[in-house]
Each structure stands twice: as structure tokens, then as C-alpha cells.
Amino acid sequence: MEKDCIFCDIINGKMGTKFLYENDTLVVFKDINPVAPVHLLIVPRKHIRSINDLEQEDKKIVSEMIMAGKDMAKKQGVTKSGYKLIFNVEKGGGQIIFHLHLHLIGGWR
């Protein structure tokens, strides 16, 4: 757990955030400022700053995040209509929270 990291606080239950799914590797919760009808964040329990900081040992985490994205898309009913899975990387890439997360965005009509 990293000091002054809002996603570490959320993962540790300090913010009372509801998880739509969780397992030993990751948690899934709704984005507080959704840009589409479905906007979830898939967040590893391990504090990793960004995609740039991934190590070989994190391979399983990343693959689980993508699989969770697929599974959550199905649960949210957007599999057929389609969706985006997005990693923003560092400031120029639009990242504002420096704890790795995958956006699941979809549900447009």
C-alpha cells in the first residue's frame, strides 16, 4: 500500500466504495465521473504507478485485468454493442491517478 494514493485507500475500504467484483488480485468499481453509461475501473490490489512500471512478475496481474474487463463487459450487457478498454499512461496520456487501472467504457446507444 502506497501513502497518499486514493486507489490504495479505496482498495483498503477506507472510502466505503462499493466493489462490483473483487478477487485476490484486483477490484472493480464505478468511476466517480463516468464518461459513458458504463464506466468501470479495474484496479490491481498491488500499487503499480503506471504501465511504464510493469515488471515481468506483473504479467499475471495485467492478464487478469484484461480478462476481468471482458467478464465485466458481459455482466454490464455491453459485449455485443461493444466497449473500450483503456490504459491512460502518465500525464501526457491522460493519467491523473497514479495507481494502475484499466477503464471499461461503453453502453452508448
Residues lying near ligand 5GP in the complex (CB under 6 A): 6, 17, 29-33, 41, 88, 94-97
* Cβ(97)–Cβ(6) below 8 Å: yes
Q: At CA 40, angle to CA 38 and CA 44, rounded to 5?
A: 165
Contact positions vs Zn ion (CB under 5 A): 2, 5, 7-8, 47, 99
| DSSP, res 19 | P
For residue 57, the cross-strand partners are none
Is 47 noted as a catalytic residue in this protein? no
Least spacing, CB of residue 95 vs ligand 5GP, in Å:
4
Least spacing, CB of residue 80 vs Zn ion, in Å:
34
Q: Which does 66 bind (CB under 5 to 8 A by kind): ligand 5GP, Zn ion, none?
A: none
* Cβ(68)–Cβ(28) below 8 Å: yes
Catalytically active residues, by annotation: 101
